[in-house]
Chain A
Amino acid sequence: MDDLSNPVLSVKKLNKQFGPGCSQCGKADSAVLVKNFCPVCGTVYACRDISFDLYPGEVLGIVGESGSGKSTLMRQLYFDQEATSGEVYIRFYHDGKKNVLNESSQQKRYIRNHLMGKVYQNPLLGLRMNFSSIGNIAEKLIAAGNRNVGQMVLRGQVLLEEVNIPLFRMKEEPQKFSGGMQQRVQIAKALSNNPPILLLDEVTTGLDLSVQANVLDLIRNLQRELKISMIVVSHDLGVIRMLADRTFVMLEGKIIEQGLTDQILEDPQHPYTQQLVHSLL
C-alpha cells in the first residue's frame, strides 16, 4: 500500500508572486486582476495555491500555455527562487515532516544536491558550457559529497553511455555539442547523484522533431529503468502524452484540471483544456 498512498513529494498551497502587491490586488483572487496580473501595481501572481502530490515511480505531466507559471513552479521546487508562501514536503527529508521551504539555505543545498535533479530548457542554466562533459557530471557529484576522482570518472562514463554520448567525446565541452546532445549531457548530470526526484522543464522545446523524439525515448527508458519520480513540464500536449501517467493543466498560475493522461486527452472538462486538446487533433 505504501506506494499508493505515500507521496515522495507533497506540495501544499504554493504561491509565488513577482511584485509587492497592493491594496487593490491584496488577495490573489481579487477582481482587479487581469488574468494573474495586477494593472495597478504590476504584480504578477505566477503560481496560485498550487497543491499536488508526486508518487514513487510516477511521471507527472504539467501542461499549459506559455506564461501559465510552469517554470516558476519548477524553480520553487528546486530552490532556484524563493516561494512567496506554501509548503513542500519530501519523503526522504526528515521523513516528509519538515516544510523544506522553511529550511536554511544550507539544508536546501543539501536537498538539491542529494534528492533532486533538474533539466532546464536552456542548457546554459543546467551546464557549464566551457567545462568538459565529464567535468559537468563531476561537479554535481562533488556537490553531493563525492571525493574519489577515479570513481567519479567511472560514474560519469556510465552516465554518458546511458544517454548515448560517445565516450571519446566526454572531454569535450557542451558548447561544441548540438542542442540534443547538450540536453543529453544535462540529463546525465541531473541523474548523477541518483536523485529520487527529477524535474524536467521543457527539455525538448526548440529541438528538431527527430532529435526531440530521441530525447523523449531516452527519458522514457531511463524512467523505466531507474523508476525515478518525475515532473515533466511542457507547453506541448504531445510531449506530455508520450511521458506522463497523470497530468495537470495550468492556466494563469493555477491548476485548472487534473486527471489520468488519457482522460485529460479524451474527456477534457475545462473549456481551456478542451481547446488545447482540439488544437492537437
Chain B
Amino acid sequence: MENILTVESLSKTFRLHSVNKEIRAINKISFVVKEGEFVGITGKSGSGKSTILKCIYRTYLPESGDIWYNSKKFGLINLREATEREMIYLRKHEIGYVSQFLNALPRITAREIVKQAILEMGHNDKYAEEETEKILTHFELDPQLWDSYVATFSGGEKLRLNIARAMVKRPRLLLLDEPTASLDDESKEKVRVLMEQLVREGTTMLGIFHDMLFMQNLCDVEYRMLDGEIIKYSEKNPFTKH
C-alpha cells in the first residue's frame, strides 16, 4: 500500500527566551505510515510523542526535516513548508486531531459543534443535520444535551463529543493524542468501535494511547520512543490481528 505520511529526520527544539532555555523535544525522527494503517506511538511521558503529532498538524512549527503527506487535494505536499492556508484546508477536509481536551467556545451547543465540523467540509445543511444526529446517537450522548452548551458537560461527555466531532468528518488521517485518557471503560469501548469502523472506511490513524491494551488491540504498527528518538519498531503479525 502507498504511504500516506513519510516523516524524514524531523526535529523540534523549543527556545524559551525569557529563561534562556532550549528544550530538544524530538531529534531526527523518521517513520512512515501506510494508507489505511493504524500506527501507535508509545513511550514515557516527555519522550516527544505529542510533539510529533503537533508538528504534523502545525500546532507546533516543525524545525527541520520533512513531513510528506499524500493529500487528496494537493498531491504530495511537505507539511513543514505548506502555507497556513493549505494547513487550514487540510485541517478542515483531510487531517483530524483529537486530544483529551475539548477545544471549543464555551457557549456553543453539542449539535452546533458537530454540525459546524460537517458544514465546513462543504456539505449541505440537511446532510449535516442527519450526520450530526447519527454520531451523537452513536456516542449515546443524551438527546437532552444536544442543545445544551458544552461548558456544562461532564468530562466524559465533553470527550465523547470531542472525538465525535473529529470522527464525523471521516478524515483521511486522524491524529489521536491520548483521546481516551480519562474515559471510563464503557466510553472507551464506544470509541474503539467507531475507530474500527473508520479504519474499515479507509481512515489512517496515528495515535498515542495511555491504555496499552486498548492500543495493542487496534494497532498494526508500533513505534516506541525514548528521549525524543524512536527506539523500537514492531509490527503486528497480520495473521493474529483481526
Contacts and interface: CB of A to CB of B under 8 A. Distances in A.
**A pairs with B:** yes
Interface of A: 4-5, 55, 58, 213, 217, 220, 224, 242, 245-246, 258-260, 262-263, 266-267, 269, 271, 274-275, 278
Interface of B: 14-18, 54, 58-61, 84-89, 103, 105-107, 116
Contact of B105 (A58, A217, A274): A217
Contacts of B54: 266-267
Given A266-B54, A271-B18, A55 B61 contact: no
A246 B84 CA distance: 8
A220 B88 contact: no
Contact of A260 (B16, B58, B105): B58
A224 B113 CA distance: 12
B81 to A, nearest CB: 14
Instruction: Among B16, B103, B105, find the residue whose CB has the most chain A CB atoms closer than 10 A.
Output: B105
Nearest to A267: B60
A227 to B, nearest CB: 10
Contacts of A55: 85
B84 A260 contact: yes
B18 A262 contact: no
B107 A213 contact: yes
B206 to A, nearest CB: 18
Given A242-B105, A263-B58, 5 more contacts: A213-B107, A220-B105, A267-B60, A274-B16, A274-B18
Contacts of B116: 224
Nearest to A216: B105
Given A213-B107, A278-B18, A269 B61 contact: yes
A232 to B, nearest CB: 14
A8 to B, nearest CB: 13
Given A224-B116, A267-B60, A5 B107 contact: no
B59 to A, nearest CB: 5
Contacts of A271: 17-18
Contacts of A258: 84
A260 to B, nearest CB: 6
Contacts of B58: 260, 263
A267 to B, nearest CB: 4
Contacts of A4: 85-86, 89
B17 A274 contact: yes
Contacts of A269: 15, 61
Nearest to A269: B61
Contacts of B15: 269
Contacts of B60: 263, 266-267
Contact of B59 (A213, A266, A275): A266
Interface centre among A245, A246, A262, A275 (most CB of B within 10 A): A262
8 contacts: A213-B107, A246-B88, A260-B88, A262-B59, A267-B14, A267-B59, A269-B61, A274-B17
B84 A275 contact: no
A69 B119 CA distance: 36
B123 to A, nearest CB: 14
A263 B18 contact: no
A81 B63 CA distance: 40
A275 B18 contact: yes
Contacts of A259: 61, 84
Nearest to A214: B107
Nearest to B97: A262
Contacts of A260: 58-59, 84, 87-88
A156 to B, nearest CB: 27
A213 B105 CA distance: 10
Given A217-B105, A263-B61, A5 B85 contact: yes
Output the residue of A55, A266, A267 with the most chain B CB within 10 A. Answer: A267
B195 to A, nearest CB: 24
Contacts of A275: 18
Contacts of A245: 88
A5 B91 CA distance: 17
Contacts of B103: 262
B214 to A, nearest CB: 26
Contacts of A58: 88
B68 to A, nearest CB: 20
B73 to A, nearest CB: 9
A67 B14 CA distance: 29
Contacts of B89: 4
B40 to A, nearest CB: 23
A263 B85 contact: no
Nearest to A274: B17
